[in-house]
Structure 1
Amino acid sequence: MNAWILMVLALLLPTVVAAEEGKEGEPKVAYISLSPPFVGNYALDGSPKLHVYKADVALRVTGDAAAAAVKHHEPLIRNQLVALFAQQGVDNLSNVDAKEKLRQEALKQVQQVLEGEEGKPIVEDLLFNNLIVQ
């Protein structure tokens, strides 16, 4: 009897797995955190006051292939974002609207980098999990 049950389970198992894959066959949304966080100086306009930022950034992608492509190109993405953050002035990081514009510009630049490397933008959104400026 036990052998019969095992045989039936062995025959049904691929069907159950296929059904689960069908449900999960839709591409999954993933959030890729770029770590370590970005930390650096900005607004280097010759003033004696040092301006520092810390940004925790996450990228939203859909599908395992997109996540793998972002991970593969992470050094290039980080380089682009560091350059963008360093170009900011005090006014660009002083309020919510300015930070939203920075987020949109960062997304645009990440998408341009990936468009050049992969032929498509891949990243759907860029999120600041944390953005601290002093």
Structure 2
Amino acid sequence: MKLLPALLLSLTICLPALASSEKKNEAPQTLYHNLVPSLIGNLADPGNRLKFFKADVALRVTGSEAEERLKLHEPLIRHQLVLLFSAQTSETINAPEGREALRQQALQQVQAAITGEEGRPIVEDLLFNNLIIQ
């Protein structure tokens, strides 16, 4: 009878250590960081009519530490993306293959900017949640 409380006490002491060792073995999780507010700017369309773009962009990273590093460099990322989008024409963006090419260019530009600051590309992928031309 006296052995049971001692056994329960020893189990309660060991459980937190077991739980913390399980957390160490977990793989880093994939996170999507949305650039808020949306990116808005003018397009480089020739002609008299001024055209605008609005882009909602999400960046995929692995782990919360990478997301924190990404947040630190968000102004640089936003600047690079606005410059890239402003250099596009509406014909390029309206074509499906043009959007995919723009997405790839944007990813490369973001990775290059982050690599220049961090020494490694933190961003794994770039996704358009919304891309509107008006």
For normalisation by structure 2, the TM-score amounts to: 0.87
Q: Is the 8 A contact 2:115 2:121 kept in 1?
A: yes
In the alignment, structure 1 segments of 5+ residues that lack a partner are none
Aligned to 2:86: 86
Amino acid at match of 1:29: T
In the alignment, structure 2 segments of 5+ residues that lack a partner are none
Q: Secondary structure at the match of 2:44?
A: coil
Aligned to 1:49: 49
| Displacement of 1:44 | 4.5
| Displacement of 1:95 | 1.4
Q: Secondary structure at the match of 1:60?
A: strand
Cα distance between partner residues in 2 of 1:123 and 1:16: 31
Cα distance between partner residues in 2 of 1:62 and 1:16: 23
Instruction: Decide which of 5, 17, 20 is 1:17's aligned counterpart.
Output: 20
Q: Secondary structure at the match of 2:49?
A: coil
Aligned length: 131
Task: Give the structure with higher Rg (CA).
Answer: 2
- Alpha-carbon RMSD across the aligned residues, in angstroms, is 1.9
For normalisation by structure 1, the TM-score amounts to: 0.87
Amino acid at match of 1:124: E
Q: Bigger shift: 74-83 or 55-64? A: 55-64
